[in-house]
Amino acid sequence: ETGVTQSPTHLIKTRGQQVTLRCSSQSGHNTVSWYQQALGQGPQFIFQYYREEENGRGNFPPRFSGLQFPNYSSELNVNALELDDSALYLCASSFSSGSYEQYFGPGTRLTVT
């Protein structure tokens, strides 16, 4: 069974730039969720994709967007980066949407300067 992987591990970007983060789901999972974790806080839900369709969104602006591909891998895109976007970004896959436990990747640490 392949675990959840994320790339890159670390990333430094300049304010105003765009960034794409990638996530490979665990085998057999059709749902992926993305979270932002700022220092000292719990992960904040960004959005979820279920079978390639957005299936819920948290309180994040439209410059945060995502995609899920037929193989259930996923991307998180952030446009017009702001300093406050500096955080750890986690993706998590699950067997389906709902109450199923989520399997997290190790995260991508994004620093915006």
The contact set with other proteins (CB under 8 A) reads 3-4, 33, 35, 40-45, 48, 56, 58-59, 90, 92, 97-107
In whole angstroms, the minimum distance from the beta carbon of 20 to other proteins comes to 21
Question: Tokens for 63?
Answer: 């410059």
Residue type at 88 in one-letter notation? L
In whole angstroms, the minimum distance from the beta carbon of 69 to other proteins comes to 21
- Total count of residues recorded for the chain: 113
- Bridge-based pairing of strands 10-13 and 108-112 is parallel
Q: Tell the residue number behind the tokens 């640490």, with chain if given.
A: 109
Question: Tokens for 85?
Answer: 């976007």
Identify which of residues 20 and 44 has a Cβ nearer to other proteins in the complex. Answer: 44
Identify which of residues 32 and 81 has a Cβ nearer to other proteins in the complex. Answer: 32
Tell me: cis bond preceding 61? Omega within 30 of 0 counts.
Answer: no
In whole angstroms, the minimum distance from the beta carbon of 84 to other proteins comes to 18
Identify which of residues 62 and 98 has a Cβ nearer to other proteins in the complex. Answer: 98
